[in-house]
Amino acid sequence: MITVDAKPFPYAFPPEKTALIVIDMQRDFVEPGGFGESLGNDVSLLRAIIPTVASLIGLFRTKGWPVIHTREGHEADLSDCPPSKIRRGAPSMRIGDVGPMGRIMVRGEPGNAIIPELQPVDGEIVIDKPGKGAFYATSLGDDLARLGITHLVFAGVTTEVCVQTTMREANDRGFDCLLIEDATESYFPHYKAATVSMIAAQGGIVGCVTPFTSLEAAAA
């Protein structure tokens, strides 16, 4: 076991049963002209975590621990996108509309891709998910069972939406979760702060939280 200094208590994990899940580091959320910006968000906040996420992925790759990437997106005919999701809000572009990076949130379009800085390498699992949670309507649960994974480390965007939803899904499925707090970000700093705090509250009701340097030091 490796033990990391974390909140609300040290997080102990068996490295051979631990995977990193990098949530939705896609052009649509992180780059200008994508879905995130169409909702009126400042994407520069999200871009600030790219070096830390890259270091975290690098640590897992160096150790030979699994790295799993997710992408939020939909089939070209939007058959897996609830009409309510298309209608919601008042974006300048809706899901399926053509934007500067192709059709918004549609699989295979340039904007749906993971950003160049964090591209998956051969052998890494990439989960295409229609929802906020990465377990919903995907193979993730089966993939983790096949790999014998019991512990999950989380990074990505956005903290209070897809990261938190997936952590809660994982928690209900019995995984021991750790969020790397400087490898996740929100368009709203106060939502990130609240989410990080509520994950670790009540004795780690959803999981533990720690900065990347603590995991790096523990894994050295």
* Closer of 151 and 192 to ligand C5J (Cβ): 192
Residues between 83 and 142 with contacts to ligand C5J, criterion CB under 6 A: none
7 is catalytic: no
Which of 7, 13, 24, 95 is in the footprint of ligand C5J by CB under 6 A? 24
Please, which residues have CB within 8 angstroms of residue 57's CB and are 6 or more apart in sequence? 20, 22, 67, 118, 155
CA dihedral 159, 142, 127, 121 (to 10 degrees): 110
Cβ neighbours of 136 (radius 10 Å): 14
Return d(Cα 92, Cα 99) in angstroms, integer: 10
Residue of 81, 162, 177, 208 marked active site:
162
Q: Which stretch binds ligand C5J (CB under 6 A): 2-10, 13-21, 141-149, 154-162?
A: 154-162
Which pair of tokens denotes residue 33?
């002209």
* Closer of 4 and 53 to ligand C5J (Cβ): 53
Q: Which amino acid is at 100?
A: P
24 is catalytic: yes
Q: Which stretch binds ligand C5J (CB under 6 A): 7-15, 84-92, 116-124, 155-163?
A: 155-163
Per CB under 6 A, residues contacting ligand C5J are: 24, 29, 72, 157-158, 161-162
